[in-house]
Amino acid sequence: MLVRGMSMSVSIHDSLREIGEEHGRAMYRFYLDTIERKMSYAYLSEAFFETMCSEFRHRIVLFMARRGSQWVAGAIHYRKGARLYGRYWGCLEHHPYLHFE
């Protein structure tokens, strides 16, 4: 069950669902939130996420949640063939049952 006003999307780079720098900037904000909550060290830069989402989008699968016009949570996975590898995830708002870990 989704929170009222929230929508989910799965994006795989193709002619219908474009992945770009906007997604990279959102994922960086989510990443920083996770780093802060887990008391870890942010070793990836905003440029890393923007580059991944613009130059390597053919290798990315995004799972993202939006409230209105703003991305509020997401997870980025890297794919090769039929396999998904790793992921970074995070959110800007807490919602019960919205969890990517």
How many domains would you assign to the chain? 1
Residue-number span of the structural domain to which 58 is assigned: 6-91
In a domain, 25, yes or no: yes
Instruction: Give me the CATH number covering residue 33.
Output: 3.40.630.30
3-state secondary structure of 1: coil
User: How do the residues of the chain divide into helix, strand and coil, expressed in percent and rounded to 5?
Assistant: 30, 35, 35
This prediction's pTM: 0.81
1 in a structural domain:
no
Per-residue pLDDT of the chain (101 residues; tens, 9 = 90+): 456 677 777 776 664 457 888 888 999 999 999 899 888 999 999 999 888 888 888 888 888 888 888 889 888 888 898 898 877 888 898 877 776 65
